[in-house]
Each structure stands twice: as C-alpha cells, then as structure tokens.
C-alpha cells in the first residue's frame, strides 16, 4: 500500500506587537473617555432635576397668577374709577332733582297758600256782600197772597189790610216803597215787597203775621238768595229743627232746643257738634 500524503496547513503569519504601541492606543482611549465623561457631566449640569422643575413650575405659576391679579386689579381699578365717576354724576343729578323737587314743593305750597288766601278772600267778600244786602233788607217785608187788581194802589191796599187784619195803623211816610216782584207762577198773585221806614213798625207787623195768615196773606222776611239757600240747607239737616233770619243773620234751633247762628260757608254738622261739645265741657 502506498502512504497517503497529509494535507497542507495554511501558513500563519505571526505579527509582533510592540508594547509601546499598545500603551499609546490605550492612553488615547482613556483620554477620549475622559473627555466624553466631562462632556456628559457638563450636559448633566444643564439637565433640570424634578425638584428644580417643581420649583420652576411654582415660580412660573406664581408669576402667571401675579400677572393675572395685576391685570384684574388694573381692570377693576379702572371700572371702580369709572363707577365712582358715574356715581358722582348720578349723585349730582339726584341732588339737582331733589333741589328741583324742593323748589317745586315750595312753589306748590306757596300757590296753595295763595289759593287758600284768595278763596278765603272771595268767601269773605261774598259774606260781606250778602250781609250788606241782607242788612239793606232789614226793614223789608215780603207779602204773599194779595190779589192783583187792575189799577191797584198797593200803598193804600197794604195800609188798609194792616189795620183791618192786625190793627196796625200806617201812614204814607212809614211806607218807603212798595212794589210787586216778578214771578214765573201765573197761578198765584205776584209777591209784594214793602220797605218800611222804621224797624219797630216791621216788628209790630211780623208779630201779628198769624192774623194775616188766617186771612190768606203770608208775611215773610225779605231774605237774600244766599241766605235762602242756607236756610234750606239748615231745614234739610237732620240735626236742625227750624231756621230763620233775624236782624240780618241766619239762626237755627236744634232738636235739643239749642240756638245757633250760621254763616254762608259754615259746615252745619261740625258747628252743631262743636257747640254740643263746648256745652258739655
């Protein structure tokens, strides 16, 4: 048998590394690592920690809140200033209105006082005129029921019936004037007004008017229109028994037999109550 030949092995080149070259490489790597670590350390300095982040966030929020508060305060301050200005203006307007109201109130009070004074003056004038008119009729007698005749002589006729009915003798000088009054009632004789010279003669006739009445002739006081209206008011009042005119004034008697004098504008109820109160006091 023939011997087999062993395969050829690849040849290995042996490299010899010197120790000085290795030290240089290792030293370079360390320097690079050192530099890298230094760079990382510098970068880590700029990295924010959780505590720093919380503090930074707190400061930011505080600043934001402070800014918001300042802004709100500024707006509120502006609004308050504007509101104060508006209130001041409104206050001035209110004060002006109050002043105007007081002036109007004073003027109205003055007008009311003047009006009351004028009304009182008018009433006094009316009462005075009525009193004077009634006084001018003090000696007058109104006669009703004397039959009208053609060509009548009223002076002579009145003298005759005064003597025949009442026994009062009159002369021509005692009758100042005598005439008939207009009347809208054609069914009755027109009234007669007799103006006498003396009050005593009138009183004598009025005292005997019942004797005239039985003969169908009525004698009355010659009363003004206003006093006639007052007497009608008195007679229609539930507290008054009777009313009449005497010596130019209107008088009345209550159901308690109290006698009072009344003027044109008197409140009948109030005057009766006041009189009764004073009587009881």
Q: State pLDDT tens for residues 123-133.
A: 999 999 999 99
Apex 32 CA angle, 29 and 33, nearest 5: 85
Tens of pLDDT, residues 61-116: 888 888 888 888 888 988 898 888 998 989 999 999 999 999 999 999 999 999 99
With a pLDDT cut of 70, the percent of the chain lying above it is 87
Mean pLDDT over the full length of the chain: 86
The b/e string for 185-199 (b: 16+ C-beta within 10 A; e otherwise) is eeeebebbbbbbeee
| Mean local confidence (pLDDT), 138-146 | 94
Residue 226's pLDDT is 95
Residue 177's pLDDT is 96
Residue 25's pLDDT is 60
pLDDT at 134 over 50: yes
With a pLDDT cut of 90, the percent of the chain lying above it is 59
Residue 15's pLDDT is 43
Q: State how far the Cα of 32 lies from the Cα of 20, in Å rounded to an integer.
A: 19
Q: State how far the Cα of 51 lies from the Cα of 31, in Å rounded to an integer.
A: 34
Residue 12's pLDDT is 44
pLDDT at 14 over 60: no
| Mean local confidence (pLDDT), 140-159 | 94
Residue 22's pLDDT is 56
Burial class (CB in 10 A: 0-12, 13-18, 19+), 226: middle
Residue 51's pLDDT is 74
Tens of pLDDT, residues 19-48: 555 566 666 777 888 788 777 777 666 665
Q: In this structure, what DSSP letter does residue 166 have?
A: I
Residue 113's pLDDT is 93
The b/e string for 36-59 (b: 16+ C-beta within 10 A; e otherwise) is eeeeeeeeeeeeeeeeeeeeeeee
Tens of pLDDT, residues 168-180: 999 999 999 999 9
Lowest mean pLDDT among 67-76, 151-160, 202-211: 67-76
Between residues 275 and 10, the one the model is more confident about: 275
Lowest mean pLDDT among 44-53, 134-143, 152-161: 44-53
Say if CB 194 and CB 141 are below 8 A apart: yes
Strands (E), 91-216: 140-144, 175-180, 192-196
Residue 37's pLDDT is 79
Q: Which of 126, 121, 134 is nearest to 231 (CA)?
A: 134
Q: Which two tokens stand for residue 147?
A: 């039959």
């Amino acid at each position: 048998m023939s011997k087999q030949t062993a395969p050829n092995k690849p040849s290995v080149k042996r490299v010899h590394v010197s120790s000085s070259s290795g030290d240089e490489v290792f030293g370079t790597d360390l320097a690079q690592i050192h530099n890298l670590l230094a760079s990382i350390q510098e970068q880590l300095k700029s990295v924010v920690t959780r505590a720093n982040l919380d503090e930074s966030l707190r400061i930011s929020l505080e600043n934001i809140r402070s800014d918001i508060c300042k802004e709100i305060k500024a707006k509120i301050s502006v609004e308050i200033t504007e509101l104060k200005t508006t209130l001041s203006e409104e206050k001035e307007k209110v004060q002006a209105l109050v002043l105007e109201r007081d002036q109007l109130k004073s003027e109205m009070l003055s007008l009311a006082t003047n009006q009351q004074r004028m009304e009182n003056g008018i009433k006094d004038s009316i009462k005075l005129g009525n009193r004077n008119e009634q006084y001018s009729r003090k000696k007058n007698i109104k006669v009703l029921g004397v039959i009208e005749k053609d060509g009548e002589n009223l002076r002579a006729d009145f003298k005759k019936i005064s003597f025949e009915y009442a026994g009062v003798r009159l002369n021509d000088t005692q009758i100042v004037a005598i005439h008939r009054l207009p009347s809208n009632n054609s069914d009755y004789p027109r009234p007669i007004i007799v103006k006498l010279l003396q009050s005593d003669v009138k009183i004598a006739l009025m005292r005997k008017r019942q004797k005239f009445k039985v003969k169908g002739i009525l004698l009355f006081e010659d009363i003004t229109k206003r006093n006639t209206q007052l007497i009608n008011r008195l007679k229609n009042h539930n507290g008054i028994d009777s009313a009449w005119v005497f010596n130019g004034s209107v008088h009345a008697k209550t159901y308690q037999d109290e006698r009072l004098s009344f003027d044109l504008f008197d409140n009948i109820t109030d005057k009766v109550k006041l009189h009764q109160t004073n009587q009881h006091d």
